[in-house]
Amino acid sequence: MFTSKVPVESVEKIQENIFILKAFSPQIASAIKPGQFCNLKVSETDFPLLRRPFSISDVDGDYISFMFNKHGEGTRILSEKRNGDVIDILAPLGNGFTYEDDYDTAVMIGGGLGAAPFPFLTRRLKNKKIVTLIGGRNEKDVTDWGLKNVFYSTDDGSIGFKGNVVELLISKFNDFKDSEIKIFSCGPTPMLKALQKFTVDNNIKCEISTECSMACGFGICQGCPIDSAEKDKYYLVCKDGPVFDAEAIVL
The CATH number assigned to the domain holding 7 equals: 2.40.30.10
CA distance 53 to 213: 8
Of the residues 93, 126, 156, the one at which a domain ends = 93
214 located within any domain: no
Asked if residues 150 and 144 have their Cβ atoms less than 8 Å apart, the reply is yes
Please tell me whether residues 87 and 134 are part of one structural domain: no
Residue 64 gets which letter from DSSP? E
> Residue 243: inside a domain, yes or no?
no
Same domain, 109 and 77: no
Read out DSSP for 41-54?
Answer: E--SSSSSSS-EEE
Tell me the residue range of the domain where 185 lies.
105-209
| Whole-number pLDDT of residue 121 | 98
Residue ranges of the chain with pLDDT lower than 50?
Answer: none
Burial state string for 107-129 with b = 16 or more CB within 10 A and e = fewer than 16:
bbbbbbbbbbbbbbbbeebeebe
| 240 within some domain | no
- pTM of the model as a whole: 0.95
pLDDT of the residue at 79: 95
Tens of pLDDT, residue by residue over 11-61, are 999 998 899 999 999 999 999 999 999 999 988 775 556 788 999 999 999
User: Of 35, 63, 93, which marks where a domain is finished?
Assistant: 93
How many domains are there within the chain?
2
Do residues 141 and 190 both lie within one domain?
A: yes
- Report yes or no on 217 lying in a domain: no
With respect to residue 99, please indicate whether it lies within any of the assigned structural domains: no
State the chain's mean pLDDT as an integer: 94
Same domain for 174 and 196, yes or no, is yes
Using DSSP bridges, classify how beta strands 205-209 and 150-154 pair: parallel, antiparallel or unpaired: unpaired
CATH of the domain at 141: 3.40.50.80
Same domain, 174 and 194: yes
Measured between alpha carbons, how far is 70 from 14 in angstroms, rounded to an integer? 12
What local confidence, expressed as pLDDT, does residue 33 receive?
98
Q: Do 61 and 87 meet the contact criterion of CB atoms below 8 Å apart? A: no
Within a domain: residue 79? yes
Q: Could you tell me if 110 and 186 lie in one domain?
A: yes
Residues 114 and 197 grouped into a single domain: yes
What's residue 147's pLDDT?
98
